[in-house]
Amino acid sequence: MDTLISQAHFLRPLWFFAFIPLLFICFLILKKRLFSRNWQAIIAPRLLPHLLVGKQSTRSLSPSIVFFVITSLIIISLAGPVWEKRPQPVFKEKSALVIALDLSRSMDAKDIKPSRLTRARYKIADILKRRTEGQTALVAYAADAFVVTPLTDDTLTIAALLPSLTTELMPAQGTRTDKAVEKAASLLKNAGIKQGDILLVTDSIESAATDKFKQVAKQHRISILAVATTEGAPIPLPTGGFIKNNRGAIVLPKLNINNLNKFKQLGHGRLSIISSDDNDIINITSLLSVNRFQAKADKETTLTGSLTADSWYEQGPWLLLLIIPFAAFTFRRGLIFILPLIFLIQHPQTVEANSEPSLWESLWNNADQRAMKIYNQDPTAAAKLFRDKQWKAAALYKSKQYQKSIDTLKEINTADAHYNKGNAYAKLDKTEQAIKEYEQALKLNPEHKDARYNKKQLEEKKSKDKQKDSKQDENDKSSKKETGNKADKNNSSRKKSNNKTTPEKRTNKSKNENLTDKEKTNKNPEPSKNDGKKKQSQKPNNKTPSKEKNEQLKNKDEQSKQATEQWLRRIPDDPGGLLRNKFLYQYKQQQHSNEDNAW
């Protein structure tokens, strides 16, 4: 008991200053009530009913007391009374890892199949899968370093960005490991991480990074995952051939193990050479799972214990329960008229297209805002609610009402409007109109990369369709020629045979002169007994070509639709373009010197 009294205190004692205005308000209330009793002190009690107008009743001071007690309890609760400490675990896995991926041209070498960069991305993905705790960031670097993702617990986001990381994203080529280490250290510093880990995924480290390694290694541990071989390989160019140095010799980047070992010792981390199994990443992740700076705290605790700290358990909220009995005294007949407001203030319900918005909903949200809430769940209903034409067109496009989307955007002459109309025309398989809309978008905004890319894809599709049609026409012509040649040969052979026939056979020939070529070729060696059967059998054969043509047209339509859908699926939702623009913008904001080795 004595310990509780000695430990009792308030976490926010400044709230007690609120008693000053409270006492002043109570003083004014008491003064008013005392003034109303002056006549009772002067006039005799038996004369009061006859002299004072109205019904006289003794006024109680209980409302003032209730007001004072409720307000006092609220003030004390806000002050935060505490008298008990409770242990609370404070240690949490706060390990932070910054992965710096080398995107210089040397990472395109193919001494490691399929390429150094591709295998490096796979290894980073495996490392991300093994990181169940802690924060992770990703930095890409070449001649400069750029942040792909800051420190985050969401490793899936980083994994989704990995396929888009190529050497072409870099605005300038080179190998500046010192800038990558500096950028990683700044990420850790901005996140409040005093001691973290940095992993370099690279094929080489320049000697100029020595000073920066020493500086950063004082706080953070630097490990290296080497992605190269001692034999090396030439660096292929996108246009063909290989990168050459100033002397005209082909560049052959190789793994320098001695150099990487030196930087491993400077960074107090580990060095792993990429392998076909998981031993390389196990070597690194096993080090990351052990927080070297946690070991000092572990020495101060037992092997089974955990780091904990005492936290004051606040008792103030319990005082609010004492207000409930006093709240009954505050009831007045006038307060009952406030109850309808409770029913008016309701939680907003789900927005429906045909339903009128509630009073609350119409007060705080307009039609466009209500439509935005259901845009992803029900774009058809959202299209009915939208007043903004561009948003309305977007909702119609999402609900696959492409023609209505085009009609909605007709009066809008902006690059985005023409681009969206081009997409809708492409969905309707109207290639010509789609290309025109993309061209109009590029006239208004020549830097509209999406319009340029979609236009290029449609033009390629259009040229392929023309090639297919021309090939099909050629095949049809060749097939007609072949059938014609066959018919001529058959006629010539029949003439020769007819010249050698007897008079009886000539009479048979005259009877069959009205037969078609097909009937002649299909005719049996012995003539049939009645020609009517042949004519009846010929009628269904005349219908089959038309049916076959209809089926072929249907198949062509289905194939074109499938080709259009496949083409639309190929329209990239790739963050690579955004990252390229971001890196280029950041690169232009800084001054840079020319790199000696542009690979």
Task: Write out the DSSP string of 43-101.
Answer: S-TTTHHHHS-S---PPPSHHHHHHHHHHHHHHHHHH-EEEEEEEEE------EEEEEE
The span from the CA of 228 to the CA of 118, in Å, is: 12
> Do you know the residue count of the chain?
599
- Which tens digits make up the pLDDT trace of 112-153? 999 999 999 999 999 999 888 789 999 999 989 999 999 999
Tell me which range, 37-51, 148-162, 277-291, 499-513, is most confidently predicted by mean pLDDT.
148-162
Confidence check: pLDDT of 346 > 80: no
Which comes out higher in pLDDT, residue 363 or 408?
408
Q: Does CATH number 3.40.50.410 belong to domain 96-300?
A: yes
315 band by pLDDT with thresholds 50, 70 and 90:
confident
> What integer pLDDT is reported at residue 147 of this predicted model?
94
Q: What is the mean pLDDT of the chain?
A: 76
CATH superfamily to which 359-460 belongs = Tetratricopeptide repeat domain (1.25.40.10)
**Within 13 Å, how many C-alpha atoms sit on residue 185's CB side?**
18
pLDDT at 464: 82
Q: Which residues of 430-468 are buried (b: 16+ CB within 10 A; e: fewer)?
A: bbeebbbbbebbbeeeeebebbbebbebbeebeeeeeee
What are the tens digits of pLDDT across the range 201-214?
A: 999 999 889 999 99
Instruction: Place 259 in a pLDDT band, splitting at 50, 70 and 90.
Output: very high
Confidence of residue 526 (pLDDT cuts 50, 70, 90): very low
Question: What are the boundaries of each domain within the chain?
Answer: 2-84, 96-300, 359-460
